[in-house]
Amino acid sequence: MAEHSSLITKTKCYHCGDAVEQTPYVLNDHQFCCLGCQTVYQILNENDLQSYYRYNSHPGKSQQAQKEDLSYLEEPNIVAKLVDYQDEEIAVITFYVPAIHCSSCIWLLENLFKLNPYVKSSKVDFMKRQASITFSKDGLSLKELVQLLHNIGYDPKITLQDVIKEGKKKNQNGLISKITVAGFCFGNSMMISFPEYFGMAEFEREYSAFFGYMNLAFGLPVLLYSASDYFRSAWYSLKQRRLNLDVPLALGIFVLFFRSALEILTQSGAGFIDTLCSLVFFILIGKWVQERTYYHISFERDYRSYFPVAVTVLKEENEKPTPIADLKVGNRILVRNNEIIPADAMLLKGEALVDFSFVTGESKPMKKILGEVVYAGGRQTGGAIELEVVKAVSQSYLTKLWNNESLKSYERKFETFVGVISKYFTVALVSIALLAAVFWILGNAHDRAWAAFTAVLIIACPCALALSSPFTLSAALSIFDRNKMYIKNTSAIEQMAAIDTVVFDKTGTISSPSASTMCFAGNLCKLERDLLYSVCRNSNHPLSREIIKWLGPCNILPINEYEEFVGKGQSASYLDYRIMVGSALFTNVKYSEVEGSVVYVVVNEAVKGVFTLEQSWREGLNEVIGVLKKSYELHLISGDNERRAEALRLIFPTNATLLFNQTPNDKLLKIDSWQKEGKNVCMLGDGLNDAGALRKADLGIAVSDDINNFSPGCDAILDGVSFEKLPDFFAFSKDAVKVIKMSFVISLLYNVIGISFAVQGTMSPLFAAILMPISTVTIISFTSLMTRWYGKKRSLI
């Protein structure tokens, strides 16, 4: 049992680090500021989660706040609007958790399942302070989940806008208020300091003390309000026994205020309050520019950029490919086998067997009944189904699902480099500032010691170094988007720049669906045509789409037992008919003289005919291969036979490997063998039918032509109309990396030159305060302008 200690000591709470002001609570020789913190410790201790305190000292949040009424979370209508996904067994929800601030927070929140077995999984996005939690509805309600988070000190901020996310604009009112206060105080402080600058007459000298006190009064709100975020960040950092990038800045601000207050109160000088106000004002302006730029890039990415995936919309029995951005509530859509459901929609027709592993991580397909809502992100695993959209498409939500690290992880070289630099930058900076101050103090130049110490802390700016990579790659993403090359994230651009081997699929990748001709040899009666149409309508394979176009309008029959075997064919039943559509091997055709891309039609074991696709290559294929072969090793892997091999050998370089009759597994194994040779492989193929190979490759690009062939395992989606730009895309990814390296050099030069002047003690703190945000804005401008320049050079703008 815990007991109250009789001694009042100025110690820190073991859980949250706050001072223990009253009689502390004691448990296992640890002291706590309140019963709430002690309870959290007790919960963690009982569940063998003491490692939470091993990562950082006092990582928790104070529990002295009053509990909130959560009864509204029992209303089914509200729950339905808050969750990302739910079925009879589980639910998935994304919370914004402001208290996330360190590695201990991540560790604890991702181990929630140890606190409550009904929590299936939890994933933390540290940068966004979001936690995505999957939980069992049988044993844990949403209200109880929120209460669990409250009990361990991580209260989620729950608003419909925060969870829905679409159309949400970041609130910058707090930052703007801080800028306003700092600007007001800066202007008034400068005005009051004019007599000091220009030499005071006898009259002004009589009021010098009054002017000093007024200056001090203007400095207080800047210190306590406008600069509060930097002090708070530095305090969290020190509590965790590490130094972040805000520590030297907070120290510089404090030293400026302390020195100014000392001079004003002792009447030994005028202080530097105007410099302090200007410093905070300019760095806040720089922060505002940075956040506005981030917001603009994020908004463009989530809501305006082109996501080259189309879904089939049904209008008066006609099927029309429609970009998902144009999908509206009330549209009736057709989703085929293996296609992703792009928006929350109600099932109207067909047998829905939906795989939600993309959303929940659970790979077991779930059967849905007519009239039931099917959530976005699910993948249909049976025949085609018809649905009615009930919620607008959230492109940002689909992108978030796509960026799930369980699908594919990347080596983030620049992030790692910046992380190492940032880790030692603060320690080195504070050390240089102290050494400079000691040097001038030993030389009896106390004024220069103060100036050197504060100038070093203020002028050095690691922010520019940290901003180089994200701003450059984010700007590059928007340029790719404009050219209908939708890349998964910034890390995929780094991966693209490192590619040295490019592998192409044939059908639907280098061949043009719009220019290909389908020929048929055989005889089909009206019923067989309808049956063939009804089967091929369920598949998104390029050959199935060509057969549908060849057949034209047909009656749709209620087939059953539909199955599709990737790379082989498909089968189904209707009344007493059994139909198989696919390769000779799949349909058990004993002998075949037909070459090329062929599809056999077998009804009740009788061959009814064979389709042959006369393929035409995409426009500009020769030019694309001609440019790429100068810098990359090129190969082709196809599931078709060798009928067009000679024509392809004239297009591809002599050292290229051309492989035919390859199954999806053969493609995957071949890519793996190249990777084991140390090659960085890019695979271009059909998003669904080459899903395994695309995921295995270092960079997987799905080529799309007004279809829903989105595969979660790919890294980019290329609209077929932009195929000619492929060499420019690869070159531009390398250009983006060049810009990052150039901005690194500029940032390092700025810091080296700036610090070398600052240590001399001759640089005005005001001058340093102006230079620091200018360096940040310069890097942002440089990366944006250079990225655009390279984009124009590659004819992408």
Domain ranges of the chain: 3-55, 71-164, 173-278, 310-402, 483-512+618-733, 517-614
Q: Token digits for 524?
A: 């089909």
- pLDDT (average), residues 32-56: 61
Average pLDDT over every residue of 171-186: 83
Per the CB < 8 A criterion, the answer to whether 309 and 489 are in contact is no
Beta bridge partners of 368: 352
Q: What is the dihedral of CA 786, 792, 793, 796, to 10 degrees?
A: 120
Burial class (CB in 10 A: 0-12, 13-18, 19+), 330: exposed
Query: What is the model's pLDDT at position 333?
Result: 92
Predicted pLDDT of residue 735: 95
Would you say residue 760 has pLDDT above 70? Answer: yes
Residue 464 binned pLDDT confidence (cut-offs 50, 70, 90): low
Would you identify the CATH topology of the domain 517-614? Calcium-transporting ATPase, cytoplasmic domain N (3.40.1110)
Q: Pairing mode, if any, of strands 597-603 and 577-582?
A: antiparallel
User: Is it the case that residue 482 has pLDDT exceeding 90?
Assistant: no
Q: Higher confidence at residue 496 or residue 402?
A: 496
> What pLDDT score does 112 carry?
86
What secondary structure does DSSP assign to 265-300, as a single string? HHTS---SHHHHHHHHHHHHHHHHHHHHHHHHHHHI
Decide: 51 and 114 in contact? Cβ < 8 Å.
no
What class, spelled out in words, does domain 483-512+618-733 have in CATH? alpha beta
> Which pLDDT score, from 0 to 100, does residue 598 have?
85
DSSP secondary structure letter of residue 690: T
CA 216 to chain centre: 44
Report, as an integer, the average pLDDT of 326-339. Answer: 88
Going by C-alpha positions, the residue among 558, 549, 84, 19 that lies closest to residue 361 is 84
Of 45 and 526, which is predicted with more confidence? 526
Per DSSP, helices labelled H in 51-117 are 52-55, 76-82, 103-109, 112-115
Identify whether the C-beta of residue 543 lies closer than 8 Å to the C-beta of residue 507: yes
Q: Which residues sit opposite 655 in a β-bridge?
A: none
Specify the residue for token string 């976005």: 376
Backbone dihedral region of 241: left (phi > 0), alpha (psi from -120 to 50 degrees) or beta?
A: left
The dotted CATH code for 310-402 is: 2.70.150.10
Higher-pLDDT residue of 401 and 477 is 477
What local confidence, expressed as pLDDT, does residue 694 receive? 86
Q: pTM for the whole thing?
A: 0.66
pLDDT of res. 636: 93
Q: Which of 330-339, 462-471, 479-488 has the lowest mean pLDDT?
A: 462-471
In the prediction, which pLDDT does 303 show?
Answer: 46
Is the pLDDT at 540 greater than 60, yes or no? yes
Q: How much is the CA Rg of the chain, to the nearest whole Å?
A: 32
568, burial (CB in 10 Å: exposed 0-12, middle 13-18, buried 19+): middle
- Does the structure show a pLDDT above 90 at 778? no
* Residue type at position 153: G
Judged against a pLDDT cut of 60, whether residue 8 lies above it is answered with: no
Mean pLDDT within 37-43: 66
Mean pLDDT of 370-390: 87
Average confidence (pLDDT) over 692-714: 78
Q: What percent of the chain has pLDDT over 70?
A: 76
CB atoms within 10 A of CB 779: 25
Up-side HSE of residue 586: CA atoms within 13 Å toward CB? 20
Q: Which fold has domain 71-164?
A: Alpha-Beta Plaits (3.30.70)
